[in-house]
């Protein structure tokens, strides 16, 4: 059985839609930014916060969880500059609580959702994060690595950035593959970049709109292009969508939006 924390959110709900086709799934989410209606009816939904030890313990006692997919986080870069405490508490401290309860219940497999941390790059590139949100993700990665080694866990970290409606399909493929892989691994910590390996300028994404130039924002990073060699070589995963499809599917997705993410 798979526990998806943050499974009522934008990406989580898509991941759950795929997982229920072949697995029993429990979604645990505090609905801070998620949407109850987005959770697939075949999944069991429990409202709760991953910082809530007591409630998490009940969930792990009640269900035979083997793998955790961790998507529960506050995720707005600008907000993270304004309120770093929220980000470190919700994304780092609460992750520690989740890991503690996993350990107590001998659950060893975790797929963690991280963000692209710096300019392109290989998974081992020098890390220079630009905002408290990204730092909260980086600290959590470090914690996960230590836990993996010390407590013989298996962890796959997926790093990506600014998913839009069509890339979600590629992301869901990546999560599926990561879940499949993590359960086969033994005491292993892997980080994989996701993306399509190409960079697009803002100009390229705005064919028909007027572009207004302005000062760059404090949280902006000038270039983000993921190097995808590792995930392609090790897991055989290739992104399917090009820029044209990303834009048209994102546009169509916004026209037909059912949920308020
Ligand atoms: N969307 C992106 O482009 C992107 C890029 C890189 C990484 N990520 C990461 O992927 C994950 C999902 O992102 P998303 O875009 O779907 O965001 P989202 O806000 O739609 O989903 C996050 C979900 O987690 C829940 N949540 C937050 N804190 C919680 C807590 N303490 N306990 C229980 N539930 C909690 C929210 O209610 C929400 O349902 C996040 O960890 C995010 O940092 C997203």
Q: What is the pLDDT of residue 162?
A: 77
Question: Does the annotation count 133 as an active-site position?
Answer: yes
Phi, psi of 226 (to 5 degrees): -80, 140
Nearest atom, ligand 1, residue 34 CA: 39
**Residue nearest atom 11 of ligand 1, based on CA coordinates:** 71
Q: Tell me the H-state helices in 114-242.
A: 132-151, 167-182, 202-205, 229-235
Distance CA 186, CA 183 (A): 8
Compute, in angstroms, the gap from residue 210 CA to the centroid of ligand 1: 31
With cut-offs at 50, 70 and 90, classify the pLDDT of residue 230. confident
Reply yes or no on whether the pLDDT at 229 is more than 90: no
Pairwise pLDDT comparison (65 vs 254), residue with the higher score? 65
pLDDT of 34-74, one tens digit each? Answer: 999 999 999 999 999 999 999 999 999 999 999 999 999 99
Cβ–ligand 1 distance for 261 under 6 Å, the answer: yes
**Residue nearest atom 29 of ligand 1, based on CA coordinates:** 72
Reply yes or no on whether the pLDDT at 217 is more than 80: no
Q: What is the pLDDT of residue 187?
A: 87
pLDDT of 159-179, one tens digit each? Answer: 998 776 697 999 999 999 999
Pairwise pLDDT comparison (79 vs 236), residue with the higher score? 79
The separation between CA 55 and the C-alpha centre of its own chain, rounded to angstroms, equals 22
Alpha-carbon dihedral 131, 223, 199, 159, rounded to 10 degrees: -30
The total number of residues shown for the chain amounts to: 261
Q: What is the pLDDT of residue 167?
A: 77
Q: What percent of the chain has pLDDT over 70?
A: 75
Tell me the pLDDT of the chain averaged across its residues: 87
Q: Domain coordinates of the chain in residue numbers?
A: 2-255
Nearest atom, ligand 1, residue 163 CA: 3
With cut-offs at 50, 70 and 90, classify the pLDDT of residue 233. confident
Write down the catalytic residue from 133, 147, 160, 192.
133
Distance CA 105, CA 45 (A): 20
Nearest CA-CA partner of 224 in 147, 165, 161: 161
Nearest CA-CA partner of 129 in 172, 169, 91, 167: 91
pLDDT of 84-140, one tens digit each? Answer: 999 999 999 999 999 999 999 999 999 999 997 665 566 666 567 789 999 999 999
Reply yes or no on whether the pLDDT at 146 is more than 80: yes
29 contacts 47 by C-beta, under 8 angstroms: yes
- The CATH T-level fold of domain 2-255 is Rossmann fold (3.40.50)
Q: What is the pLDDT of residue 49?
A: 98
Question: Mean pLDDT across the stretch 172-190?
Answer: 94
Distance CA 193, CA 232 (A): 10
Cβ–ligand 1 distance for 162 under 6 Å, the answer: yes
Query: Could you tell me the sign of the dihedral formed by the alpha carbons of 163, 166, 171, 172, in that order?
Result: positive
Pairwise pLDDT comparison (193 vs 128), residue with the higher score? 193
Q: What is the pLDDT of residue 84?
A: 98
With cut-offs at 50, 70 and 90, classify the pLDDT of residue 21. very high
């Amino acid at each position: 059985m798979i526990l998806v924390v943050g499974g009522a959110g934008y990406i989580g709900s898509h991941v759950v839609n795929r997982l229920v086709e072949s697995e029993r799934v429990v979604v645990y989410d505090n609905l801070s930014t998620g949407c109850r209606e987005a959770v697939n009816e075949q999944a069991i939904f429990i409202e709760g916060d991953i910082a809530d030890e007591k409630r998490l313990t009940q969930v792990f006692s009640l269900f035979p969880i083997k793998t955790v997919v961790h998507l529960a986080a506050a995720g707005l870069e600008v907000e993270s500059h304004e309120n770093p405490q929220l980000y470190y508490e919700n994304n780092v401290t609460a992750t520690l609580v989740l890991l503690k309860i996993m350990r107590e219940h001998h659950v060893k497999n975790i797929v963690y959702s991280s963000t692209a941390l710096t300019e392109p790059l290989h998974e081992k590139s020098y890390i220079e994060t630009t905002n408290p949100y990204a730092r909260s993700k980086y600290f959590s990665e470090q914690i996960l690595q230590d836990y993996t080694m010390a407590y013989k866990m298996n962890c796959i970290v997926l790093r990506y950035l600014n998913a839009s409606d069509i890339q979600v399909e590629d992301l869901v493929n990546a999560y599926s593959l990561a879940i499949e892989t993590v359960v086969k691994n033994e005491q292993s910590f892997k980080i994989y970049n996701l993306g399509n390996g190409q960079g697009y300028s803002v100009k390229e994404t705005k064919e028909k709109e007027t572009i207004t130039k302005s000062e760059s924002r404090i949280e902006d990073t000038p270039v983000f292009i993921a190097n995808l060699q590792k995930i392609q070589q090790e897991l055989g995963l290739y992104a399917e969508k090009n820029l044209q499809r990303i834009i048209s599917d994102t546009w169509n997705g916004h026209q037909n939006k059912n949920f308020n993410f």
